[in-house]
Structure 1
Amino acid sequence: MASNSKLKEVGLVFFKLGCFAFGGPAAHIAMMEDEVVTKRKWMTRDHYLDLIGATNLIPGPNSTEMTMHCGHERAGKKGLFVAGISFIFPAVFITGILAYLYVTYGTLPEVAPFIKGIQPAVLAIIASAIFKLGKKALKNWELTLIGAFVLIASLVGIHEVLALLIGGIVGGSYFFLKSKSQNNTLSSCFPFLLPFITSETFSSIGTLKIFLTFLKVGSILYGSGYVLFAYLDAELVATGLLTNAALLDAIGIGQFTPGPVLSTATFIGFQLGGLWGSIAATAGIFLPSFLFVLILTPFIPKMRKSRVLGYFLDSVNVAAVAVMAAVLITMSIATLSDWRSVIITIIAAILIFWVKKVSVIWVVIIGASLGYLLTFLPF
């Protein structure tokens, strides 16, 4: 009964997040931290940081994989699958309905005013998570220096995974040499499963080809979900299976639906093969993440116990927080373009940093409502 109770709790928490988690991976991870660490205390903030660092090193959507890690932490292997499916389902369901409307009527509903309110509110949510995680990650001046390096590298355009790896290797090597201890060796490591599947052997687009195409993309996708669109351009637009205009519409869907941006696969799959195409694309894009997390999970405690890998993990953790900070800076420049967005950000920051008891879900709802209401003002 206790196990079933935990599974139900995991399902409800991540279904709620799946319905309201707007703003991309950094925002999702920030909302998750508030739910599972601050409010429910399923794990320590240090362990949550370890999960972020490790997740950044495997292919797949980071925030979706974090839900799986958190579900596993609370309710074991069943919790891993319940958390992942609960988080993914709302986005896939909403995207599927939008795909049907798009294919049937050629139009999408107007949601821009709400998104204009959600985006600035999300800035405050990300800032809150960076503040809390940063206090744990910045253990000394050396880690602070590594974080600054990764922040600058991310802002000048170096790929986030490359910046994370460099930060982890440099930091891990430095702290190992500093400790002057040769007792620990690299006895523990985690495997990387990269199944490169070629779908070109199929002569026409069908359900199986859709599945294999998106399985391939899900298996090699590194970094944030937004990298997905570059892969899809190469796999579908360049091969003539999808028009560039349709891909741009799919990008729009990914921007204003909650949950993982990879639910865009559902939209594209419906365009390519109807209902079964959308199911095949969704299964293909997310299946590798479940496998990667299932393989990685047992190794994270071993990494922390190993001195060498512990140093590496500390360095990757601070690098991951720095990447979130870079995302925040980039999003702020793009989002804070008028007085409305500035006001919404200030209100959201007051609710999060000073009122504190307000849930981040309510911050998103308040931001969306303000975004809609402020559009009626004539100035």
Structure 2
Amino acid sequence: MKIRGVWLPNTDCLVLTSRQRIAQAMNFLAETGFNVVFPVVWSKGFTVYPSQVMRELFGVEIDPRYKGRDPLAELTIEADRVGIAVIPWFEYGFASSYNQNGGHLLAKKPDWAARDRNGNLLKKNNFEWMNAFHPEVQDFLLSLILEVVKNYDIAGIQGDDRLPALPSEGGYDSLTVWRYQQEFNCHPPHNCKHRSWLHWRADLLTDFLARIYGEVKAINPTLLVSMAPSIYDWGWQEYLQDTKAWLDKGLVDIIHPQLYRRDFNSYKYLVDKLVIEQFSSEQIQRLAPGILMNIGSSYRISPEYLLQAIGYNRSRGISGEVFFFYEGLRSDRDALAKVLRNGPYAEICSPYN
């Protein structure tokens, strides 16, 4: 698939704050040669669309910033107008909050909290986590995904390094411990990186992805199940993401490993590692790596690196990529967008070619 994609977050990005900005952004992306946009729809414990699921469970149907609007509906209309596919991105996945001690989700549902081996709320890199193994939590995430699938004109759905995922320090809640004891007649290893313990928990998340894949396809078999996980096998050890199993079991249609490196040689090394060690020749057709375009004001990819990365992707049989994130295209009077428009994205391209 020839994916020319870009992530559209609601942190450090104002596109979703008005219908006018959404329309302008879609015009800009189409003119630049993009064919897919991945807009955030689940972030910081809130949806970016009016959600009946959230209203019934938590009494808040949409992120307060968008009250009275439906940014996802607006975006699907504007993207369709210019021929861009929309794949909603469930950014936070099983994370409940960021430096909010679980936020409003775990305040309302404390038994949904993930726990580390000391019994504390699971926290990693300032994100607090729900228990990804809890049946109610899984049902909740799946219900959000299916709500979007049923109600919006979209091309697919996307998980990332937090869906399906859980920091490997987790899994020590009473429910998961009981489940492990029933199967093995012993307590889980104290060492959270014990290989059999990693495998057992990662397999539970793979099972959940299989459930997502099956239920999305049951509603519409043409929808794409897209994932943007951490790099294998670092992501397996740190976040229980067994992306090799996902590919081997056919649970992803397109995959965007986050190859977020700040120089070309480091990026090239990761591409080679994927192509040689993880992806079969058939699976490479599903691969469109995630490329780091910018981080706030602290980093922006150089035009030279940008062109090198795309060129190297093509040389390895990789026909697309996704950029994190939109605002990097607009910096310095759209400098990077012009590089793409006048170079590798000059010809119009459908993602389904």
TM-score (norm 2): 0.25
Which structure has the greater CA radius of gyration?
1
TM-score (norm 1): 0.23
* Structure with the largest fraction of strand: 2
Higher RCO (CA-CA < 8 Å; seq separation 6+): 1
* Structure with the largest fraction of helix: 1
